[in-house]
Each structure stands twice: as structure tokens, then as C-alpha cells.
Amino acid sequence: MSHFYTNKTVVITGAASGMGRSYAVLLAQRGARVLLTDIDEDELCVTAELVAKYNGTLPLTMVHDVSKISQWQALAKLCKNTYDGCDILINNAGIEGAAVPVWASDMKTIKRTMDVNFYGVVQGTKTFLPLLAASPASALINVSSIFGFIGTPNASDYCASKFAVRGYTEALMVELAQVHPHIQVHLVHPGGVATDIARSERTAKFKEKFLTTPSDEMVNYVLQEVAANNPRIVYGNHARKTYWSSKLLSLSALQKMIGKGMKKLAHPDDYAKDHKGFKL
């Protein structure tokens, strides 16, 4: 892995915090040129300053809403004009979603979750495929979740987006193998990683209990597995347990296990039998 990332041009979305920041710093340490994007300009600048400590210059950054195709097109143009291409795209940006049960969710929030977590990945993948195809040794890294294996309470929109990323990327792996097999495609399923994705008051208990794996540890593992060309990467708190449970348990047994584990984290008002979501 020591030379795999040297002089590679890497585009990282969601680089203002969490795993995105870890990707930026750890890749800079490995000699990569990083182009960083995020919707949060202030924290993106903080990440850029951390990267500059390792290579002496501030990396290229762009304020970027991954749900906007026009901004993806501008990003690809910037990458092409500045670096004459892209070797690795990391579709890392994501949001937590509604954090309520189905009957308490609203369509605006569901749509935003899908626009960022799924369509952001789709638009980034399609926009950058020409650049990745032109690179002699390239990689696409799409971030799903362990919630791309199981449906969990209070995360139906988030699960839907991450299941969608999984299906989309697994199909793409087969397709690209027929035409551009030199493009490595990787599907990442993080477990409970200590990031800022869970920001709402409703998810505070979940964050405290489950989001415990340091983001640098998670990203170091991902970079190791990408260099080894492992297509599916499962790591982080409860990650492998969740993966194997999804494979080995019946759906009814899986539901019982998940329900028991999540029961103490639910907000009582959301599970009232007379909740307005059950009324016409």
C-alpha cells in the first residue's frame, strides 16, 4: 500500500468532518493530491489546513452540494483543468435522515436523504466515470453503511438510501468489468464510526452507544483494502456482526434482534398508538 496512492489525484466529498476529513489527511500523508468538497465551507477550510501540514500547500477545495448535478459537472471540469484527470473518487458525503419511524417522517426529509445519500453517489459516479476510465489505474469508492444490510428502526429513509447505494454499486461492478476492468470499484459498509453524521437530539443516545470506532481507524482500514482491491469493505463497531447476521438469520429472527437492541433508544412519543401519523 505504500506506493498505491502516491501522486494519485483523489476527489473526496464530505471532507469537512468525520471520515471525509480522515480520508483527506491520511491520503495526503500517503502522497496523494486531494481535491476536497463539502457543503460546509468553514469546516472544509479547517480540513484543508490540516492537509497543508503534510504537503506544505493548501489543497484545492470546492463548496459542493452533492445533490446538484450542475455542481458535479463543475467539479469534474475543475479536476480536469487543474490535474488533467482524476484517479480516485470517494463518494463519502452523507446525512443521517429523519431519525424517526416511518409514520412520523415527512416527504421533504425523505427526499433530501435520497438526494444526498443516493442520488449524490449516482451523479458523482456518472459524472466522473469518463475521468476514471481515462486513468490507467483508477478507483471508485462508494460509501454505503451496515444499514445497507439491515432495516433498522427510526432510519427507514437512511436505510433505503444505503440499500440503494449497495445495489447500484454492485451492479456497476459487474458492468464495468466488461468494458473498463482497470477501474476498481469498492463498496464500503462502515459500522458505528465516531463522526458527526448523527447530529440531532433524537440520535444522541444512538451516537453515544454505537458510534465508537475512530474515523482514522476506519479510513486506514478502507485504504488498506482498496490498495488490495477488495470490492466489499466491512469494518467498524458492530459491522461484521451485522453483516453476518443479515446473511445467516431469518428475517423474523433478525427483526427480533434489531428491535431488542434499538428499543431503549426510541423516543416514546414517536411510538404512541395515537400518533398523528396513524390518523387521516
Q: Which residues are catalytic?
A: 158
Region of residue 56 (phi > 0: left; psi between -120 and 50: alpha; otherwise: beta): left
Quote the DSSP letter at residue 237.
B
CA distances from 277 to 104, 105, 106, 202, 271 (A): 6, 8, 10, 18, 10
Quote the DSSP letter at residue 266.
S
Give the SS3 label for residue 33.
strand
Distance between CA atoms of 136 and 147, rounded to whole angstroms? Answer: 33
Q: What is the number of other CB atoms lying within 10 angstroms of the CB of residue 65? A: 16
* Of the candidates 30, 63, 8, the residue with the CA atom closest to the CA atom of residue 216: 30
Dihedral in degrees, nearest 10, Cα atoms 13, 19, 23, 24: 70
